[in-house]
Amino acid sequence: MRHDRLSVLTALETQGVVPVFYHADPEVCAEVIRACARGGAKAVEFTNRGDFAWETFTALSKQFAQTDPDIIMGVGSILDAPTAALYLASGARFVISPCLVPEVAQVCNRRQVAYSPGCGSVRDISEAQSLGCEIVKLFPGASVGGPDFVKAVLGPMPWTKIMPTGGVDPDEASIAKWFGSGIVAAGMGSKLITDAAIQARDWAGIEAKVRQTVEAIAAFRAK
């Protein structure tokens, strides 16, 4: 295994931003993911959203194993254990869900792969922790209480590691608000990897945007 559970969790926290991306064209996916890695986000969430998405993921995973072994491929939008197992067999090094699915946690634990379930309540978070989830995904981040919710949870449960998706933007104000509340990382999708950049094949622009975001998070943490 190129990336074990602990090293993946460390990478997610260290880079701070987790790019969330899907495209039907494997070549486009490869360019975007490499751009993210060059920008300092080597752990990328490939979302399981399109037809034959698993085949695209498998092709990318095989390719990166040979050409870019530092890239950490994770999969998102996983709603059941069989689909999780499919991606794990294809090299997924972390699994993310929009909701808490205990069966997915069990499959990931058996393979010692990090699982971050979507949680929208303290009860969800507590159950996820009882299933061995080190980082929980707050989803949809802005809709379930935003930074105020994070602060409220960390009061009685300071060991909790929260990674919101939905509502965190790649700008200094949003980063300060969310990371100031105590999150350890944030998933960012279309505002980080824009449709315009993809259509223009502006891989350098995506790299620059990711680097800017990673550096902004590091700068805030250093204050």
Residue 1's pLDDT is what? 61
Answer yes or no: pTM beyond 0.95: yes
pLDDT (average), residues 154-161: 98
Residue 2's pLDDT is what? 74
pLDDT tens digits along 200-214: 999 999 999 999 999
**Can you read off the two tokens belonging to residue 57?**
């993921």
Cβ contact 48:75 at 8 Å: yes
Residue with tokens 């808490």: 100
Q: Where are the domains of the chain?
A: 5-222
Adjacency order of strands within the sheet including 43-47: 114-116, 94-96, 72-76, 43-47, 17-21, 186-188
pLDDT tens digits along 50-69: 899 999 999 999 999 999 99
Cβ contact 217:179 at 8 Å: yes
**Among candidate residues 75, 77, 84, the one with its CA nearest the CA of residue 106:** 84
Average pLDDT of every residue of the chain: 97
pLDDT tens digits along 104-155: 999 999 999 999 999 999 999 999 999 999 999 999 999 999 999 999 999 9
Question: Which CATH number applies to 5-222?
Answer: 3.20.20.70
**Can you read off the two tokens belonging to residue 207?**
């790299």
